[in-house]
Amino acid sequence: MGEKLLIAGNWKMHKTPQETREYFERFLPLVEGLEGVEILVCPPFVDLPAAAEAVAGSGVKVGGQNCHYEKEGPYTGEVSPRMLRAVGCEFVILGHSERRRLFGETDEVVNKKVVSALEEGLRVILCVGETLEERESGLTFTVVETQLKLGLSGVEDRLEMVEVAYEPVWAIGTGVAARPEDAEEVHRFIYSVLEKMNPEGAKRVRVLYGGSVKPENAEALLSQPSVKGVLVGGASLKPESFAAIAAAGARLARLK
């Protein structure tokens, strides 16, 4: 068996610290002993200390959903990579389509964040993906390639600290996931772009699929050869459904 599949949960703006503690009380026993998967939960910033305390010793990791690119300074409302590290984060999600669309993050800003997070020793999950309009105009590969190249500019030699999440915007929160074979096609393309940047480093990157992943479709998506994990939004909010997805990953990891 090769590298572990990464089963990552993105809670977005859900749950208080108390709800976080309750979640892990139910979740951890459900995933105890699962092999072949690395499990990551990315809660809101204020929940991170509670989450880090709850997962201590369990093997489950915690991460941030975003960060600023400066270490500290007059940036009201922002949180730095150094602060994420200090509260126990090993990962940070960057360039999520909601950050790009609702908070105006450009590829240049995302790149600054990627560089800064890597400098601080965080592993980065860089999100890329096309809108429905872009897909229908045949622009999927162009958009994904641009987001990858600009997002990873200057850190091509550090790919071993990077994971990529392919999240077609039209599949996020809609209940309509990409068909497994369509995801596989884009994942292969992503690997081909990464290989051109850094042939050795590309092999260490896990390309995750995200967008309406649920217990019912996780197995079909994860069974694709180039799908090395999933980034789960809505279905990560319930301990039972996220654990079911992790269990599907553990079953498939044996076959990969």
The set of catalytic residues is 96, 167
φ/ψ (deg, to 5) at 68: -90, 165
C-alpha span between 83 and 212 (Å, rounded)? 30
Among the listed residues 173, 176, 200, 240, the single contact to ligand PGA using CB under 6 A: 173
Whichever of 173 and 199 has its CB closer to ligand PGA, that residue is: 173
Instruction: Supply angle C-alpha 140, 142, 143, rounded to 5.
Output: 65
Give, in order, the Cα–Cα distances in Å from 32 to each of 43, 57, 59.
20, 11, 9
Q: Map residues 91-130 to x or -, x wherever contact with ligand PGA holds by CB under 6 A.
A: ----------------------------------------
Tell me: does residue 168 bind ligand PGA (CB under 6 A): no
Judged by beta carbon, residue 10 or residue 20, the one nearer ligand PGA is 10
Hey, which residues between 42 and 101 contact ligand PGA (CB under 6 A)?
none
Residue 233 interacts with ligand PGA (CB under 6 A)?
yes
Among 81, 95, 211, 239, binds ligand PGA (CB under 6 A): 211
Q: Calculate ∠ Cα 94-82-107, nearest 5°.
A: 25
Residues 6+ apart with CB under 8 A from 54: 20, 21, 24, 25, 28
- Looking at 231, 243, 244, 245, which residue binds ligand PGA (CB under 6 A)? 231
In whole angstroms, give the CA distance from residue 25 to residue 249.
Answer: 21
Number of residues that bind ligand PGA (CB under 6 A): 13
| CB closer to ligand PGA out of 95 and 234 | 234
- Using rule CB under 6 A, residue 213 touches ligand PGA: yes
Measured from the CB of residue 168, what is the shortest distance to ligand PGA in angstroms? 10
Q: C-beta of 158: minimal distance to ligand PGA in Å?
A: 23
Q: Which of 4, 6, 10, 67 binds ligand PGA (CB under 6 A)?
A: 10
Q: Report the alpha-carbon distance of residue 26 to residue 104 in Å, rounded.
A: 36
Q: Does 176 bind ligand PGA (CB under 6 A)?
A: no
Rounded CA-CA distance 23/16 in Å is 10
Q: CA 156 to CA 225: how far, in whole Å? A: 23
Burial readout 168-206 (b: 16 or more C-beta within 10 A, e: otherwise): bbbbbeeeebbebebbbbbbebbbebbeebbeebbeebb
Taking CB positions, which residue lies at the least distance from ligand PGA? 233
* Contact set with ligand PGA (CB under 6 A): 10, 167, 172-173, 210-213, 231-235
